[in-house]
A and B are shown apart, each in its own frame.
Chain A
Amino acid sequence: MKSGFLLSQKDLLQSVEKLSLKGSAGFLLGPTPSGTMFTREQFTEEQKEVGKIATDFANSKIRPNDEKIEHKAKEEDGTPTIIKLVKEAGELGLLGIDLPEEYGGLNMDFTTMMCTLENLAINGSYAATHIAHLGIGTLPILFFGNEEQKKKYLPKLATGEWISCYALTEPGSGSDALSGKTKAVLEGDYYILNGTKQYITNGSWADLAIVFARLDNQYTGFIVELNQPGISRGAEEKKMGIKGSSTVSLIFENAKVPKENLLGKVGDAATIALNILNLGRLELGFATLGAAKDVAKYTIEYGKQRKQFARPVIEFDMQMAKLADMVSRIFSLDALIYRTVSGIDAGLKSKGGHSASDVDVIRNYAIEASICKVEGSEMLAQVAGDSVKMMGGYGYCEEYRSEKAVRDCFINMIFEGTNDINRLVIFDFLVKGIYNQEIPFRDFMEMVESSLEKKNLAYPIEDSILSKEKHKVYAAKCLTAWMIQQCIIQHGKDIKNQQQVMKNISDMVIQIYAADSSLSRAHYLLHDKKHAGLVSSLVRLIVSQSTSAIQNLGSQVFASLWDTPSQKKQEEWNQLCSWAEYKENIFALKQEIAKATLEEGLFI
């Protein structure tokens, strides 16, 4: 053990503060110091202005076209309505917010761009189409394209003159994303592509695709112009939801791709695909945030008007509890997702830009991006499902938006890597980070073990706001780190075969990130004395539910590790659980949250 416990704790705190800006689940290894986290409450005037444009566009252009979008209607000139809208968004500048000015963009940060995605996501089909274009369809060129490629393609994509898509999945290569069989062979000045890509969002109307193919058995990225011989598009998939978006196969039969359209270097597919997917997951999280707020508002509107037993249905206790669950999960996703994107922005700013050499910033946020995706998609599924239940028979009818919200939301748990795959990503990157000593896990565990020996867990920051809740979340971090250590010791390399263990650990990490970020957001709000009653109830509910979930998930892992745990292990576990124990009257909290929400409409 290191000598001088207090000193090492101070060192630890400093390194955690630095880490909180660098991703890699640094949030797990110490308290998050107040004032180090960005929240929407700190939007600049410009960010608010840009966000409002997206809101205005959503309300005045997308919402009135919900029906036309859903049925893939076309305008008089044959353009699908949804594509007409994407192009209008391009004219307003909403497709080029994060692109450099020299390529037709506005050179703003990802935070600003993603805030627009939140506001535009009131229609699932539109959100999928918009995001597939400006995210995974455009960003590979921004980060990995050479100067000529950027000059040639980005201005067209920034205005919506061209629509783009991302072609990675194949019929035999879904979650095992890098095992695709599409082949590329160099013949003279062209690569000849053969193979089939499947489930390609925007496939039927895209002009351009980022395509991954095997070149000399090295998986490689290409920029492919789609309107040319040798490329055909399959029939539209008949999907459960997001019916207004296009999902087709792209079939390459001796398609000629000019030599200069190789993206990055030969064999770069993994670097391109996986890093860009991190941004895609983050974007998807923002879309779920916007969609959930829209559904919550709609549900409230209905619940206030619909009366049973001579009272608005929203005023009944069980309905209020569902409403409080909606608001609390929305509040915490909002906190953790802006924390994540602002961290990436800070990292990119310090590196100076958007190029292949800067992508390690994005890689460092793989865990956080996966959390945004998993938590966002599952939060939206809960919100949409509860909305239908709260609206009863009406909620089940197509005429009411909640029915569509349920159908549309399921895909978020599947694309951009299924939520199961994302849970494996969280665990895998976490363990790699520990083994490679990218995060001070050992130092943190020394502190945890020392605290267990002393039977005293000191909270290393003096803080008057929410101090009890912060202490409990800190204890939950110690508990989670301890459990991760036990899993690594017990399973060793076999851990990769223990997917249920990995899932539980990932879920514990997700809960920590949600509670920790909610606390930091609440700290700001309470410090500024804003909506104190509601914020305090929200954060107490979130911390209560998170710490309880973490203990439950951890108990299941604990039971799987030893048939008969040693007395020492049992005592340590009991001690950690007692430190993290936080019980509140959650029924009362939910009542308070729902009442305040109905009165003020805040945070949704």
Chain B
Amino acid sequence: MKIVVCVKRVPDTALKVKIGSDRKSIEKGDVEYIVSPYDEIAVEHAIRFKEKTPGTEVVVVTLGPADSEKNMRTCLAMGADRGILLQSNADTMDSFNVAKALSDAISQEKPDLVLFGIKATDTDSSQVGAIVSMLLGIPFLSTVVSFSLENGKIKADSEVESGHLVLQSTIPCALSIQKSNVDPRICSLINIRKAKQKELKIVPVDIPNDHFEIEKMELPAERTGGKIVGHGPDAVKELLRLLHEEAKVI
């Protein structure tokens, strides 16, 4: 069994983002990058699968600048066997071109399973996994919270708004992983040392950015204080009026 996990580096989620002077990107001065939390959960799923299924190989793939190596080493320290860094300085949100580069690399690996985090926490676009699956021509199971291999097929529990779906797919297939009770492990110091020795293949790639560009980036408006319109049933009428006339939400 070979599992490829696609990961992306994103600005640390604890960071207070500032918009850069071009109003099209974030200030990158002291930004620390981490593996996108959903991707990290996907790596954890792959490692747990590997621990239960001897003979499994876990390969992590990313697309990013040279210093993404640090984030790849984190995945290797978690237990992935090797990594492929598709090196590009393109700072693009163009999901199709990113997916194309990833699928070209993944197709050479001939994996049985391809995992993605449900979304990257920087752009939140949730597109790359689906496009890669389409380009690879394999089934795509989304919002998966757990999966197993049963009788040569992947059985996955998918979380939907009203409940859970149990899905089954032939392999190869791709899964996008939703947050669940599976927390990424903390890497031991000894595994961090070992990860430095693991194979990390660096492949330069060109990413065209010819589909669209970011025109403007802005932070959400600051939240203003709430308003107490009254107390008890008497207030309902006024509340409805305000929701209808001022907020215009009903």
Interface residues, chain A, CB within 8 Å of chain B? Answer: 45, 49-50, 53, 56-57, 60-61, 91-94, 97, 106, 307, 310, 530, 600-601
Name which residue of chain B comes closest to A88, CB basis: B186
Whether A600 contacts B186 in the complex (CB less than 8 A), given A45-B70, A49-B192, A310-B225, comes out as no
A92 CB contacts on chain B under 8 angstroms: 186-189
Name which residue of chain B comes closest to A96, CB basis: B189
* Alpha-carbon separation in the docked complex, A307 to B193 (Å): 48
A53 CB contacts on chain B under 8 angstroms: 186-189, 192
A97 CB contacts on chain B under 8 angstroms: 189
A61 CB contacts on chain B under 8 angstroms: 186
* Alpha-carbon separation in the docked complex, A56 to B183 (Å): 11
* Alpha-carbon separation in the docked complex, A558 to B241 (Å): 75
Name which residue of chain B comes closest to A91, CB basis: B188
B187 and A106 contact, CB distance less than 8 A: no
For residue B190, CB closer than 8 A to chain A, the reply is yes
* Chain B: minimal CB distance from A535 (Å): 13
Interface residues, chain B, CB within 8 Å of chain A? Answer: 16, 30, 70, 183, 186-190, 192-193, 225
Name which residue of chain B comes closest to A602, CB basis: B30
Name which residue of chain B comes closest to A307, CB basis: B225
A600 CB contacts on chain B under 8 angstroms: 16
A106 and B186 contact, CB distance less than 8 A: no
* Chain B: minimal CB distance from A602 (Å): 9
* Chain A: minimal CB distance from B209 (Å): 30
Name which residue of chain A comes closest to B196, CB basis: A46
* Chain A: minimal CB distance from B52 (Å): 20
A106 and B225 contact, CB distance less than 8 A: no
Q: A50-B192, A53-B188, A93-B189 are in contact. List 16 more A-B contacts (CB 8 A).
A: A50-B189, A53-B186, A53-B187, A53-B192, A57-B186, A60-B183, A61-B186, A92-B189, A93-B188, A93-B190, A94-B189, A106-B189, A106-B190, A106-B193, A307-B225, A310-B225
In the assembled complex, 15 residue pairs joining A and B whose CB atoms fall closer than 8 Å, in A order, are A49-B192, A50-B192, A53-B187, A53-B189, A53-B192, A60-B183, A60-B186, A61-B186, A91-B188, A92-B189, A94-B189, A106-B193, A307-B225, A600-B16, A601-B16
B190 CB contacts on chain A under 8 angstroms: 93, 106
* Alpha-carbon separation in the docked complex, A61 to B30 (Å): 28
* Alpha-carbon separation in the docked complex, A50 to B190 (Å): 11
* Alpha-carbon separation in the docked complex, A60 to B225 (Å): 32
* Alpha-carbon separation in the docked complex, A56 to B192 (Å): 14
* Chain A: minimal CB distance from B29 (Å): 9
3 pairs of A and B residues whose beta carbons are closest in the complex: A93-B189, A92-B188, A56-B186
B16 CB contacts on chain A under 8 angstroms: 600-601
Name which residue of chain A comes closest to B193, CB basis: A106
* Alpha-carbon separation in the docked complex, A92 to B185 (Å): 10
* Alpha-carbon separation in the docked complex, A60 to B185 (Å): 10
* Alpha-carbon separation in the docked complex, A310 to B225 (Å): 9
* Alpha-carbon separation in the docked complex, A97 to B70 (Å): 21
* Alpha-carbon separation in the docked complex, A94 to B186 (Å): 12
* Alpha-carbon separation in the docked complex, A97 to B190 (Å): 10
* Alpha-carbon separation in the docked complex, A209 to B154 (Å): 53
B186 CB contacts on chain A under 8 angstroms: 53, 56-57, 60-61, 92
B192 CB contacts on chain A under 8 angstroms: 49-50, 53
* Chain B: minimal CB distance from A100 (Å): 14
* Chain A: minimal CB distance from B65 (Å): 16
* Alpha-carbon separation in the docked complex, A601 to B30 (Å): 13
Query: Which interface residue of A49, A60, A91 has the most chain B CB atoms within 10 A?
Result: A49
